[in-house]
Chain A
Amino acid sequence: MTDTIETPPSAPKSRFAKFWDSDFAWSFRHSPVAMVASLVVVILVLAAIFAPLIAPYNPFDPATLNLMNGFTPPGTPNAFTQETFLLGTDDQGRDVFSTILYGLRISLFVGASAVLLAMIIGVILGLMAAYYGGWIETLIMRIADVQLTFPAILVAMLIFGIAKGVTPPEYRNAMAIYVLIIAIALSDWVQFARVVRGAALVEKNKEYVQAARLIGRGSIPIMFRHILPNVLSPVLVIATISLALAIIAEATLSFLGVGAPPTQPSLGTLIRIGQGFLFSGEWWILFFPACTLLALALSVNLLGDWLRDALNPKLR
């Protein structure tokens, strides 16, 4: 433990140095699990963002597809075209590596947007419930209680089903991704609302809030400028764990065929496609997307666990 006995520098520390010395960063540097997990997440996120640059083929451009390349096993040249693919090709001759990169992009986009939306809804409703109290609180928390009795995945399926019925058939494929985001977000806001309300109820009675009220600040600035920053750390933990759940929820819905359309396949859609070829021995179409999904969900999950421990002073 030599790095912890540093002599404090006399000059005022830079922001980065301050962060580096914080308990939070210390806990990160001493958790190999957190470091490996965040490394995996960073690699996968970068791969998703730069998918068009990394991917050797554009799997959605019919011009680059050659049906003769179909079912090429990974790493071996195709019998007809002599082309080699790192992770093989699927039935339509699409490079599996490229489809995974693009699928990852959609999975992460849907997961992150859904969590963000759920967070916004949950934080606003949770703050309102705690701050106003009365019938607003009763109404919001009752809805939350009722929704909690149903599993989130079921709620998301129902919302997806209803939305699908409302949108005209010609827009269904184009809208599917956004409907998916809304469905997952609406199935997940309850966690945020409950946590924010719990934390905000405590903060609400502290002196700084009373002081802010005394000098005449409105209720909305008090909620968002004063209370919100003080309840953010549990929100961050919930958001990370929710991200893992949202990614799995998206994959599950897409796998069941009620999520991302085949024209915009996410990892779940790819696994759904791959399952059909498992029996005929083309294992790679299923195996690599499944591994990617697993690595993503597992590392986000582990990161969330670590974050929960690191931000919770009681556990130290």
Chain B
Amino acid sequence: MFAYIVRRMFQSVIVLLVVGLVAFSMFRFVGDPIDNMLGQERTQADIDRLRTELGLDQPFPVQYFKFLKGAVQGDFGVSYRQGRPVSTILIERAPATLELAFVSGFLAITMGIALGVFTAIRRQGIAANVIMTVSLLGVSLPTFLIGILLIYVFSIELGWLPSFGRGETVKIGNWSTGFLTASGLKALILPAITLGLYQMTLIMRLVRSEMLEVMRADYVRFARARGLSDRVINFRHALKNTLVPVITITGLQLGSIIAFAIITETVFQWPGVGLLFINAIQFVDIPVMAAYLMLISVMFVTINLIVDLLYYAIDPRMRVDARAT
């Protein structure tokens, strides 16, 4: 057990170091930082002085180490475009993205599991078939078209919900939240649905197929023979055993939610980290891009690690495998 965890963590650290190297190379080779910092009227002496000051005359590994040290302490340099420290901008933008991701993730998991169980139990029903057909469409529609469609129906035609922004936000310390105002909550609905829909259909289809498989298993038939109620069989026996793959996929989807938030945030002009990243690409704002890359990899690697460990904790068979290898 211990050896497995240590090995998994070691792998994660290596991945992060490699991503750090990519991010650092971006700084080093994409555009010249000296060019960005000094104006037109510069002398060779200025350039040399700044080069020494920034440590750019030192060997590559030393610079890389310094970059990592800064990154760990949250120092990603100054945004070329906004002229402010990247970390400050990120902290400002993070609550918007996290709230959006949290709500859509919650929506995707609860609705996904509920609909999955429903369509598995009422396999022949009309409602279940309608849901399955619609979900097929949901998987093939690109996220941004779903967003535009929702805006068209609910903002333009019906005029019920706002089509962009976060509405009014309340500041609690450094955290600006949209949960506490009516307009903030209203603004959250459409983006959260757009972002969560794809994940919801995935979870739903997964739960459904797993449920159908488990319900054919012997222990479910025995439970039925023992005269247990449908409710107990469906939820205690069947659903519980479908949860292992569901947890894995859901965990991995959490990362995708953050990534797909880029698209949703652009459609709804949601002032989060994703929109910041897209603007950074458009304007070649390297420090912001590098910081986002580092941040998202830490997130992905951590999620993967947690999912693996969780898997290990839930499924006893994994422990035997891990010991064997």
Interface residues, chain A, CB within 8 Å of chain B?
A: 146, 149-151, 153-154, 157-158, 160-162, 164-166, 244, 248, 251-252, 255-258, 271, 275, 278-279, 283, 286, 290, 293-294, 297-298, 301
Contact = CB atoms under 8 A, between A and B. Distances in A.
Contact of A271 (B145, B156, B281): B145
Contact of B148 (A146, A151, A290, A297): A290
Interface in B47-92: none
Contacts of A275: 148, 267
A190 B141 CA distance: 23
A256 B156 contact: no
Given A252-B144, A271-B148, A293-B145, A161 B262 contact: no
Q: Which 7 A-B pairs rank lowest in CB-CB distance, beginning with the nearest? A: A165-B30, A161-B281, A151-B259, A154-B259, A165-B284, A248-B142, A258-B281
B148 A278 contact: yes
23 contacts: A146-B18, A149-B252, A150-B296, A150-B300, A151-B256, A151-B259, A153-B259, A153-B263, A158-B289, A161-B281, A161-B284, A251-B142, A252-B143, A252-B263, A255-B144, A275-B148, A275-B267, A278-B156, A283-B152, A290-B145, A294-B141, A297-B142, A298-B140
Contacts of B156: 278-279
A297 B143 CA distance: 13
Contacts of A150: 255, 259, 296-297, 300
B263 to A, nearest CB: 6
A301 B286 CA distance: 36
B248 interface: no
A162 B282 CA distance: 11
Contact of B152 (A151, A164, A248, A278): A278
B301 interface: yes
Given A146-B15, A165-B286, A294-B145, A151 B255 contact: yes
Given A256-B266, A290-B148, A297 B284 contact: no
A110 to B, nearest CB: 15
B204 interface: no
A149 B144 contact: no
A146 B14 CA distance: 10
B260 interface: yes
A146 B256 CA distance: 15
A109 B300 CA distance: 32
A154 B274 CA distance: 11
B296 A154 contact: yes
Nearest to B142: A248
B293 A158 contact: yes
Interface in B283-324: 284, 286, 289, 293, 296-297, 300-301, 304
B26 interface: yes
B31 interface: yes
A252 B281 contact: no
Q: Of B143, B267, B281, which is in contact with the most chain A CB atoms at under 10 Å from its CB?
A: B281
A225 B297 CA distance: 40
Nearest to B278: A256
B100 interface: no
Q: Of A154, A157, A294, which is in contact with the most chain B CB atoms at under 10 Å from its CB?
A: A154
A283 B300 CA distance: 39
Interface residues of B, number: 40
Contacts of A166: 29-30
Contacts of A256: 144, 262-263, 266, 278
A159 to B, nearest CB: 10
Interface of B: 15, 18, 26, 29-31, 140-145, 148, 151-152, 156, 163, 252, 255-256, 259-260, 262-263, 266-267, 277-278, 280-282, 284, 286, 289, 293, 296-297, 300-301, 304
Contacts of B15: 146, 149
B33 to A, nearest CB: 12
Given A154-B259, A271-B144, A162 B300 contact: no
Given A252-B143, A278-B156, A257 B286 contact: no
Contacts of A258: 278, 281-282
A222 B301 CA distance: 38
A245 to B, nearest CB: 10
Contacts of A160: 281
A293 B142 contact: yes
A308 to B, nearest CB: 15
Nearest to A158: B293
A264 B61 CA distance: 42
Contacts of A165: 26, 30-31, 284, 286, 289
A162 B296 contact: no
Given A150-B300, A298-B140, A286 B281 contact: no
Contacts of A149: 15, 252, 255, 300-301, 304
Given A149-B15, A255-B263, 16 more contacts: A149-B252, A149-B300, A151-B256, A154-B262, A161-B289, A251-B144, A252-B144, A256-B263, A275-B148, A278-B148, A283-B152, A290-B148, A293-B145, A297-B140, A297-B142, A298-B140
A165 B296 CA distance: 20
Contacts of B26: 162, 165
B151 A278 contact: yes
A181 to B, nearest CB: 17
A294 B144 CA distance: 12
B24 to A, nearest CB: 12
A162 B141 CA distance: 28
Contacts of A154: 259, 262, 296
